[in-house]
Structures are given as C-alpha cells and as structure tokens.
Structure 1
Amino acid sequence: MKGYAIPSKMPWHLTDDVYVPVNSNGEFHWVLAVVALKERCIKVYDSMFSNRSNRKLFSEIQKMATMLPKYLELSGFYEQNERTNWSVLKCYQGKNKSHPFEVSHVTGIAQQEISSLDCEIFVAAYAEYLSDGLQVPSCGINVDTLRLRYASRLWNYGIVKA
C-alpha cells in the first residue's frame, strides 16, 4: 500500500508512507509531512518553502523526527517483518532504533502566492497527488478549482451518508 493518512486504522508496518498535516503552534500555516518508512525520512511539502522564517515549524518537524523512532521502537514496529525486513534496509543499517529520522524539504513543487492563506488546500492537493502515485507538479495548482472539487466531494459524502 502506497500511503495512509490515519495510522490508527492500519498498522504502520503495512504501509510505505504516512501523511501527517503539521501546524506550527496554532499559526495559520500548514505543511504536509510524509513519513517515508522505507527511507527512514520525513519529507516536508511546504507551499511557502521560500519563507524560511518559520523556525517554529522546523522545530515541530525536528521533534517528530526525534520522537517517531522511539514510538516505533516501543510499539514493536521494528519486529514486524511480515512485509518488510527493516534491519536489511540500507537506511536502517548502522543506526540504533531510536536514531532520528532524516528530514528532507521537497523543492520544485507548486507554491502558493505570498499574500494567500491557501496552505490547507495545498496540503490536500499534495496528499492527493502523492497518494495517487504522482509527482507534485511545480506549478498549476488552481486553488479555486480545488476548493470547488473538495466541497462537492464533502457535500456528496454527506448526501450518501444520510
């Protein structure tokens, strides 16, 4: 399975990537952190990457990179070898189980306009592209179209559920 956004619904050892929307201390900016388990890496998709002044957000991602291995160790993740033998993967060799994950900021992806507050739309779009096995485009994300599309999906879900 390529990715899964709700780890409580599926054991982590049965997926390759886990999508985590990250907000910095109640700020208005969100990013998508993709925990790439087989690469022992957290890939950060930031629609305002050029705005490196957000040290709080970087600090949150670093905390996740440090705490995640301990969580995986305590939950027995590394002992789950039915799908992947973690100890033979190159990125796990030579590192103890609590060694922090690498953090990689993905560049060359579509960015929002500086004056906009559309980061949540970009997080949803990034997750959609990645879960479909596609590369995130470098441009061409139309937030108005995405808002309409996501709103219609939610409306349809509500109708079907009712």
Structure 2
Amino acid sequence: MKALEPFTETIVIEDEESTQTLPEITADMKEIIEKALQSGPTQAVLSEGYKLQILKQDMLTLKGLNWLNDEVINFYMNMLMERGENDNMPKVHAFNTFFYPKLMGAGHSAVRRWTKRVDVLAVDYILIPVHLGMHWCLAIIDFRNKCIKYYDSMGGNNNKCLNALRQYLCEESLDKKKQQFDLSGWTSVNVKDIPQQMNGSDCGMFACKYAEYITRGAEITFTQDDMPYFRRRMVYEIMKKKLLQ
C-alpha cells in the first residue's frame, strides 16, 4: 500500500465565556464519594461494568493530586460510549489505553481483531487515550468534521500519532470493508488554545474531560480550577456507572 503523505496543521479554538452550570454535588452524593475514597482494603471492588472492575486502589487515583490509572480512564471511556447509545447523542467508540502503544509499536495488524464485532468507521467519534510515559493526552477521530485531532493539556504536538491514525483509517477500511478509505477533505490537527493543566498530576483528568465535552457537543470551557470538582464527580459517576451530564 502506498505510504500516506503526512498532513498536519494547528487549529485554534477561540475562548468563550462559559454559560454552563456544572451539576451540584449534593450531600447524598458527597457521602458516597467520601466512602469510596476513605481508607480500606485496596483490593475491594467498588464498581463493576463493561467487563471491568474498579478496585479501591484504582478509585484512590482520583483523590487529591494522584495520577489517574488505566482502569479509571478505561471505565470512564466506556461510560462515554454508553451515553452515545442514547437517542440524539453522537455515537462514540473508545479504544482502551492499550490500543495506542499497540498501534504505534506494530501497526494495524496488532489491533485489527479489536474491531471484529464493531464498525468503528460508522460512529461519530473514535476516542484514543494516549499515554506518553508520564503524561496522558487524547486523540479523537471526528467523522462528522472529517478531522483527526490531538489534545494535550501541556500544549504538545504529536504528528506521529495523527499520521498513524490516518493510516489506521485506511487499513481498517481495507480490512473490514475491502475498499479504500476516502481521505479527501480530511485534516489532522494539534488543537491549541484549549484548557491547560497548571500542575503535574491532572493530565488524565484533562484528557477525560476533553473527551466528555466533545462527545456531548459542548464548548470546552472548564479550567484547572474545576479539576478538584471533576475528580470527586468522577468518583460518583463511576460508583453509579452513569454520567451526570
């Protein structure tokens, strides 16, 4: 197959005043959150769903300034997929956190069986969590706008990721549909002027919230100041297996 010509550009999202009201964490919700984060057996199962388990040790990564782990991010991404099954919501497929290193290390052949039972070319968004050793980012394949986007809460670029995902679309189409993927009109962008983290620990939260806002069709208007709230809210959402918004 002929190699694709790399294509990248940078886009800017204009800052707008937020008109959104974040759901309140009520007293009853607070009780559930605090119980989930209190000390206890680290192997205790706190939530189950999507063929995944969230243990106490996983939930504690949402406490304070801890780094989110794979289990929490994968569970949250599954909730975004589940929300996409509702009427009038964009259809979402989220690859788990092991997809990106597999794709980058061995190409499409290493992940071709991951979509044996799902047509990822028929959704509105594909979410790809990107772990760069000590830092979480997010890539999104946006079929509605024919764009592959990379979101980094520390402002970095990742053209290798963008180009690998373009190649993935082509090879997935050939493998599953036996036809060339039409890349005409598609762009690849490192998104800039998005909310940035002001510490060294909230990258996973930013990646998750980028995904949540985008797949809800909302303007990305949160800030670093919202992260303590979002951490506690995510604890509750995972416990209830349901997104608040």
| Partner in structure 2 of residue 72 of structure 1 | 173
Tell me if the contact between 1:13 and 1:77 (Cα under 8 Å) persists in the aligned partners. Answer: no
Q: In structure 2, do the counterparts of structure 1 residues 111 and 41 end up closer, same or farther at CA, with 3 Å as the change threshold?
A: same
| Partner in structure 2 of residue 124 of structure 1 | 208
Alpha-carbon distance, 1:30 to partner: 1.5
| Partner in structure 1 of residue 147 of structure 2 | 41
Q: Which runs of 5+ in 2 are unaligned?
A: 1-88, 96-114
Equivalenced residues, count: 134
Work out which of the two has the higher radius of gyration on C-alpha atoms and give 1 or 2: 2
Task: Using CA pairs under 8 Å that are at least 6 residues apart, name the structure with larger relative contact order, 1 or 2.
Answer: 2
Q: Which runs of 5+ in 1 are unaligned?
A: 80-85, 94-100
Kindly indicate whether residue 95 of structure 2 is the aligned counterpart of residue 11 of structure 1: no
Kindly indicate whether residue 242 of structure 2 is the aligned counterpart of residue 154 of structure 1: no
Percent identity among equivalent residues?
A: 22
Instruction: Note the 1:96-107 alignment, pairs <5 A.
Output: 102-107=187-192
Query: Distance in 1 between the 2:221 and 2:204 partners?
Result: 17
Kindly indicate whether residue 195 of structure 2 is the aligned counterpart of residue 110 of structure 1: yes
Query: Distance in 1 between the 2:217 and 2:233 partners?
Result: 20
| Partner in structure 1 of residue 34 of structure 2 | none
Alpha-carbon distance, 1:78 to partner: 5.4
Query: Distance in 2 between the 1:157 and 1:139 partners?
Result: 24
Alpha-carbon distance, 1:58 to partner: 3.9
Q: In structure 2, do the counterparts of structure 1 residues 65 and 117 end up closer, same or farther at CA, with 3 Å as the change threshold?
A: farther
Q: In structure 2, do the counterparts of structure 1 residues 107 and 157 end up closer, same or farther at CA, with 3 Å as the change threshold?
A: same
